[in-house]
Amino acid sequence: MNRNLFFNQKIPFSENNLESIIKLCLERNQNAQSLLYKQFFGYSKSVCLRYSSNQEEAKEILNEGFLKVFNNLDKYLPELSFKAWLRTIMVNTALNYYRDNKKYNQEISFDDVEDPIYDEDIINKISADEILVLVQKLPPSYRTVFVMHVVDGYNHREIGEILEINEGTSRSNFMKARVKLQSLVQKEFPHLYKDYHQETGKHSTK
Amino acid sequence: MSIDKYNDAIKKKLESIAPKFEQTDWDEMKSFMALNVPKGSLWNRYGRFFLYSTGAILLLSSLFFNLKQNYDNKSLLKANELLLKKFDAKQVVKTEKVYQTDTVYLTKYITKWHTIDNTIAQSNFEENLKTTDSQPFITNNKIIENETKAVLLSPNRGNQTYQNTVNINKLGSQNKNNSSKDVENFQTISQTRNETFKQTFEPINVPKNTATKEINELVSDNKIQNISELNSIPFNSNAYLWTKQYPKINLITKIPVDALAQRNHITIKLPSVSLANLKYRVGVSFDVGNEQIGGSLLSDVLLSKHWSMNTGLRFLNITGKSYYTAEQYLFDTKQDFRKLYAPYVPVNDDIINLDFQNYLLQIPIGITYRYPLRNDFTLLFSATTDLDLYVGQYINFDYKEDNGKFEQGTYESKLSKSLLYNLELSAGLEKKYKRMIFQIHPYISAQLKETAYKKEEFMLGAKMRFFVNLGK
């Protein structure tokens, strides 16, 4: 808890000065809160979206996450990156949301793709929003592990500890998530694979 | 194509998403915030209520106990006063002398000549003129005696052995009784005399005064002879057969000096805090609370019947947090464990199973209000705080060495001390058995300020104490 920065130094308020916004947020100034929310809305919501199944869930996590931010701003250490701190809070809120709704999440069985093709070029041809929709279609347990590992950089042991599952389960869920995602890509964007096969055929005939 | 590149491509795509802000989003957030007003900490929410409630309870308890004590004292004083009154009354009964002024009228009779036994009359006369204390009834009686003797034994009477017999029976012994009783006695004894002497004379001149009628009648039965002789007796005007003594006033409410001193002692008595009057106890205490365990050597000083103070030396172990990994520590505390405790912990190895333990040496200071119950049981209400003498932190962790096997590492550090950082309130029960005292206290401890080793705002626990009475 280090409030000295805010109480001992006079920082002129500016919309572009994060410290001044945070200082006012600590005083429960709604305009400052609104500014902070507005500034980090996109970033925070993107974190929430990839951990949720739809827009409504994402919004719920986002609001809860921001409430935690406003209530715990005094615990924020100014020498650290605010964005990283915000991201940690959002991820934790999303994980809590997942834990709270775990019993309602049904594991869906799916047919394994016989020969999954993991090509970054195919992914690059798909828009971010389309990828997000595909990720959101993953079952929550797979999606969570997948996003934690691929996007947020947790290893499987950490994922296991945080989600209170075995490391092996985490690995298994991750693999299944990737296969499922690939099958969804193939299903949603079959033309990309036709092109891929044609290109790979050309390469092979050459 | 590689899996990593594929993952990176997905990561980039997902991170590139940036939904646009709309005013409705903030409106939703505002309404969400309004619905979830920050609750604040438990202390912030209920601290004042708790303090006021505790204060009110303490005040009410104090008032109640004082009223009860006052009532007890008053009833004891009343009982004491009653006892003193009884004691005084007994003393008064013992020393009280009831004095009466009785008037005895003497009637002169004309007697016939008879021989009477002078010696008997004389002896009776002597006896009757004595008080219970065998003292002469009045000094003037001597005069009467002498004069009567002189007349009776006058040579003018020659051979005639006349004797006036004046029966005044046991006046002295009957002084305590009323006049009617005197009269009865007089009558009884007169009648006895009648049996001894022959009734050979008759009364000639009987006064018609009603007040003296009875006596006249009684006396008329006596064998008083020679009334004319009696008439000629020159009675001394001072020789009345009555005594006059000044009444002595004995106040019932008068309290003996000793009793007064005793009463003053009771009313002015204040709790003595002189060392000579203090009662000392020494003993041990064992306490268990939320994630902490401790033991103490204690001394308890009884300042008065209701108040005592205790202090001593306390050893306390507070279980700190545990982390599975150094990364979790970083995640929770936002501090890098390796950097924080470098160079005492390996920098590049995996660190797992971090366990923090705090050991404290403290001086507990407590004050206790004691309310005695029956059968050597006492109700205890106490407030205690702790002063730190030493605070040490021990960190245990496992780290992986080159061979892949985990080794155990420890790190010991000294933490900053705190004074009066907590307030512990407890209500307990004490049982005294000879010189041994057993106490059990459930307690609630409120953290007044944050310390390096204790984060919880409230803590519940129980203490068990054993003391041995020293001194008186």
What is the chain B residue with the closest CA to A155? B327
DSSP state of A35: H
Average pLDDT of chain B? 72
CA–CA gap between residue B243 and residue B381 (Å, rounded) = 72
Residues of B in contact with A157 (CB under 8 A): 325
CB B142 within 8 A of CB B126: no
Strand (E) positions, B11-149? none
pLDDT of residue B118: 53
pLDDT of residue A186: 83
Query: In this complex, is the C-beta atom of A175 within 8 Å of any C-beta atom belonging to chain B?
Result: no
Residue B472 pLDDT grade (very low, low, confident, very high; cuts 50, 70, 90)? low
Residues of B in contact with A59 (CB under 8 A): 25, 28
pLDDT of residue B410: 82
Residue B387 pLDDT grade (very low, low, confident, very high; cuts 50, 70, 90)? confident
pLDDT of residue A206: 43
Angle at B328 between CA B324 and CA B330, to 5 degrees: 135
pTM: 0.39
Cα atoms in the 13 Å half-sphere on the side-chain side of B81: 9
CB A142 within 8 A of CB A176: yes
CB B265 within 8 A of CB B80: no
Residue A128 to residue B13, Cβ atoms within 8 A: yes
Nearest Cα to B298, choosing from B156, B419, B464, B448?
A: B464
Residues of B in contact with A151 (CB under 8 A): 10-11, 14-15
Between B98 and A127, the higher pLDDT residue = A127
pLDDT of residue B284: 93
- Percent of chain B having pLDDT more than 90? 11
Angle at B246 between CA B241 and CA B247, to 5 degrees: 115
CA–CA gap between residue A114 and residue A183 (Å, rounded) = 9
CB B215 within 8 A of CB B186: yes
pLDDT of residue B248: 52
- B5 → closest Cβ in A50, A120, A161: A120
Residue B26 to residue A120, Cβ atoms within 8 A: no
Residue B153 pLDDT grade (very low, low, confident, very high; cuts 50, 70, 90)? low
Residue A51 pLDDT grade (very low, low, confident, very high; cuts 50, 70, 90)? very high
CA–CA gap between residue B415 and residue A64 (Å, rounded) = 36
CA B3 to chain centre: 88
CA–CA gap between residue A20 and residue A18 (Å, rounded) = 5
pLDDT of residue A89: 92
A157 Cα to chain B: minimum distance (Å): 10
B291 Cα to chain A: minimum distance (Å): 23
Query: What SS3 class is residue A33?
Result: helix
Q: How many CB atoms lie within 10 A of CB A35?
A: 20
CB A105 within 8 A of CB A125: no
Residue ranges of chain B whose CB lies within 8 Å of a chain A CB: 1-3, 5-11, 13-21, 25-26, 28-30, 32-33, 36, 38, 324-325, 327-328, 331, 334
Residue A66 to residue B20, Cβ atoms within 8 A: no
pLDDT of residue A203: 52
What is the chain B residue with the closest CA to A62? B29
CA–CA gap between residue B443 and residue B422 (Å, rounded) = 12
Choose, out of B3, B14, B322, the residue to mutate when testing the contact with A (most A CBs < 10 Å). Answer: B14
Kindly tell me the number of DSSP H helices and DSSP E strands found in chain B. 11, 9
CB B465 within 8 A of CB B368: no
Residue A46 to residue B334, Cβ atoms within 8 A: no
Query: What SS3 class is residue A127?
Result: coil
CA–CA gap between residue B185 and residue B171 (Å, rounded) = 9
Nearest Cα to B125, choosing from B108, B146, B109?
A: B146
Residue B344 pLDDT grade (very low, low, confident, very high; cuts 50, 70, 90)? confident
B413 Cα to chain A: minimum distance (Å): 21
In terms of phi and psi (left: phi > 0; alpha: psi -120 to 50; beta: otherwise), the region of A193 is alpha
Q: Which of A40-44, A131-135, B449-453 has the lowest mean pLDDT?
A: B449-453
pLDDT of residue B80: 93
Q: Which of A1-5, A150-154, B443-447 has the lowest mean pLDDT?
A: A1-5
For the segment B131-140, the average pLDDT, to the nearest whole number, is 47
Taking only the tens place, the pLDDT of each residue in B58-97 is: 888 888 888 888 999 999 999 999 999 988 888 776 666 6
C-alpha separations of B336 from A4, A78, B325, B331 in Å: 22, 16, 11, 9
Residue A37 to residue B29, Cβ atoms within 8 A: yes
Residue A158 to residue B10, Cβ atoms within 8 A: no
H helical segments located in B288-335: 326-333
Residue B215 pLDDT grade (very low, low, confident, very high; cuts 50, 70, 90)? very low
Taking only the tens place, the pLDDT of each residue in B270-329 is: 555 555 566 788 999 999 888 889 999 999 988 888 888 999 999 998 888 888 888 888
Residues of B in contact with A45 (CB under 8 A): 18-19
Query: What SS3 class is residue B283?
Result: strand
B222-231, B249-258, B391-400: which has the highest mean pLDDT?
A: B391-400
Residue B10 to residue A123, Cβ atoms within 8 A: yes
Query: In this complex, is the C-beta atom of A51 within 8 Å of any C-beta atom belonging to chain B?
Result: no
CA quadruple B331, B332, B335, B339: dihedral sign? negative
pLDDT of residue B146: 58
Over 90: is that where the pLDDT of A66 sits? yes
pLDDT of residue B136: 47
Residues of B in contact with A42 (CB under 8 A): 18-21
For the segment B416-443, the average pLDDT, to the nearest whole number, is 86
- A120 → closest Cβ in B1, B14, B334: B1
Taking only the tens place, the pLDDT of each residue in B138-148 is: 444 555 555 55
Between A12 and B140, the higher pLDDT residue = A12
- B20 → closest Cβ in A42, A59, A131: A42
Residue A42 to residue B19, Cβ atoms within 8 A: yes
pLDDT of residue A181: 87
Place of tokens 């006892």: B83
- Percent of chain A having pLDDT more than 70? 80
A13-22, A45-54, B347-356: which has the highest mean pLDDT?
A: A45-54
Torsion angle in degrees (nearest 10) through CA of A188, A190, A192, A198 = 170
Residues of B in contact with A34 (CB under 8 A): 26
pLDDT of residue A22: 87
What is the chain B residue with the closest CA to A50? B14
Residues of A in contact with B10 (CB under 8 A): 123, 131, 135, 150-151, 181
What is the chain A residue with the closest CA to B8? A150
Nearest Cα to A126, choosing from B216, B339, B13?
A: B13
CA–CA gap between residue A141 and residue B330 (Å, rounded) = 25
Nearest Cα to A161, choosing from B304, B241, B295, B354?
A: B354
Nearest Cα to B129, choosing from B139, B117, B120, B119?
A: B139
Please list, residue by residue across B412-433, b when 16 or more beta carbons sit within 10 angstroms of its beta carbon and e when fewer do: eeebebbeebbbbbbebebebe
The secondary structure of chain A in percent helix, strand, coil, rounded to multiples of 5, reads 75, 0, 25
B279 Cα to chain A: minimum distance (Å): 48
Over 50: is that where the pLDDT of A8 sits? no
For the segment B378-407, the average pLDDT, to the nearest whole number, is 83
Query: What SS3 class is residue B3?
Result: helix
Query: What SS3 class is residue A72?
Result: coil
Q: Which residues contact B133 (CB under 8 A, 6 or more apart)?
A: none
Q: Which two tokens stand for residue A75?
A: 């615990």
Residue B14 to residue A46, Cβ atoms within 8 A: yes
